[in-house]
Structure 1
Amino acid sequence: MQTHRNPVNVAVVYHSGYGHTAKQAQAVAEGAAQVTGATVQLIRIEEGTEPSWKDLEQADAIIFGAPTYMGGPSAQFKAFQDATSKNVFAAGSKWKDKVAAGFTNGASRSGDKLATLIQLALFAAQHGMHWVNLGLPPANNSSTGSESELNRHGFWLGAAAQSNADQDADIVPPEADLATARHLGRRVTTLAQQLVLGRNAIDQTASE
């Protein structure tokens, strides 16, 4: 169901090593695009290149995504984080007060994916951003639970997906994890719109 009609710009910036996190990122973008008035841009981090800093500066919300490798974000995504110290942070906190959220994918059910989400949240905090949690209760935690439920892994801080190491991205992550990613995209975009609307109302009142 589409909600809200206030224009809002959302950027989904991510790295994907084998295509699984890219599939999750696409789902996040699909969820964000379901909110009427949203403009959504997928920005893939490629090794040896930098993203469009201007596009990220113009976004109202930035959703970060990285695979979890060895208990943390991929080296390629970490390189992007480090690059923001010069291109964003040192230039005067260009992302301050933007909305932020995060997602990650790994082969193991847990795989220390929480460590990656914590790193993403700290990264957003360093830039003075407003972190949005997943906003879903943990699922699949009872005898009547199901692997098809949203947030089947029981994460709070962001969206987590699990992709078997021996399956390609055309098979995994499973639909439950992609639906969880879409939920995150919708949630972040809706909250970003509310924040933009509130700021516009305050500015209008101040000018009267």
Structure 2
Amino acid sequence: MSDLKTAVVYYSATGSVHAMAQAAAEAAEDAGSEVRLRKVRELAPEEAIASNQGWASHAKQTQDLPEATLDDLEWADLLIFGAPTRFGMPAAQLKQFLDTTGPLWGAGKLVNKVATSFTSAATAHGGQETTITALNNTFYHWGCVIVPPGYADPIQFQAGNPYGASHVSNNGQVPPGQVELDAISFQARRAVGIARALKVGLASA
């Protein structure tokens, strides 16, 4: 049984964020954490999904993946969130899930958990940094310890985003490449290490 528990919670329409979420989950697991990979519930109407081939295809491919619940957040020591950017903010599907966490927040169940986030946008400068910092606003309210990747590894000088791993999908046409996947993997490993150290420190305090 692992000494650390990680929940990777994400929303993805055409698969870019999903690929990064998988990489994060695998890296956290390789770093010795027990991991739950969870998508959030889709809110878009069926006709909207069907109108976009990539969206419809990805929805079918991931239809059996478990949906996130509040129990996943309470269970975890480390929370890794990913969402595509929508007008510089997290996609509504993930935001709606975050908006259901009031009971956990009110009971102090999210205090001192480690949190980190990542994103994908259709275009360069399409809101990657603002989406990540917007997600972090929620973590401040929860009382989490936010762990960014910074420039704490050589991959970050290639990826170039110290706030969190990010990807430019060219309107869903380009999947995350090796640099993006290595960046989110590093971010996940770093977060696992800090979450483990924090958990040990708090237990001995």
Unaligned segments of structure 1, at least 5 residues = 140-148, 203-208
Partner of 2:191: 188
1:72, 1:116 within 8 Å by CA — same for their partners in 2?
Answer: yes
**Does the Cα contact within 8 Å between 1:150 and 1:177 map onto a contact in 2?**
no
Which residue identity does 1:62 align to in structure 2?
A: L
Task: Tell me if 1:22 matches 2:22.
Answer: no
Aligned partner of 1:11 in structure 2 is: 7
**Aligned with residue 155 of structure 1, among 156, 161, 185:** 161
Runs of 4+ that moved beyond 6 A: none
Q: Structure 1 counterpart of 2:7, which letter?
A: A
Equivalent runs, 1:164-203 vs 2, <5 Å: 164-165=170-171, 167=173, 172-202=175-205
Computing the radius of gyration over CA atoms, which structure comes out larger, 1 or 2? 1
Report 1:1-208 matches (<5 A). Answer: 7-36=3-32, 38-47=33-42, 51-85=68-102, 87-90=103-106, 92-136=107-151, 150=156, 152-165=158-171, 167=173, 172-202=175-205
Number of equivalenced pairs: 183
Cα offsets for 1:99-137 (capped at 9, x unmatched): 000000112122111111111111101100000011326
TM-score, normalised to structure 1, is 0.80
Amino acid aligned to 2:197:
Q
Distance 1:9 1:20 in 2: 24
Structure 2, unaligned runs of 5 or more:
44-65
Q: Relative to structure 1, is the Cα distance of residues 138 and 97 closer, same or farther in structure 2, using a 3 angstrom cutoff? A: closer
Query: Is the Cα contact below 8 Å between 1:45 and 1:51 reproduced in 2?
Result: yes
For 1:6 and 1:102, the matched residues in 2 are separated by 22
Q: What SS is found at the alignment partner of 1:17?
A: coil
2:150 counterpart letter in structure 1: G
TM-score, length of structure 2 as denominator length: 0.81
Q: Distance in 2 between matches of 1:55 and 1:72?
A: 23
Q: Supply the distance in 2 between the matched residues of 1:55 and 1:79 (Cα, whole angstroms).
A: 16
Compared with structure 1, are the counterparts of its residues 78 and 154 closer, same or farther at alpha carbon in structure 2 (3 Å cutoff)?
same
Aligned-partner SS, 2:110:
coil
Residue 165 of structure 1 aligns with an amino acid whose one-letter code is N
Q: RMSD of aligned C-alpha atoms?
A: 2.2
Is the CA contact 1:104–1:161 (under 8 Å) kept in the aligned structure 2?
A: yes
Query: Identical aligned pairs, as a percentage?
Result: 33
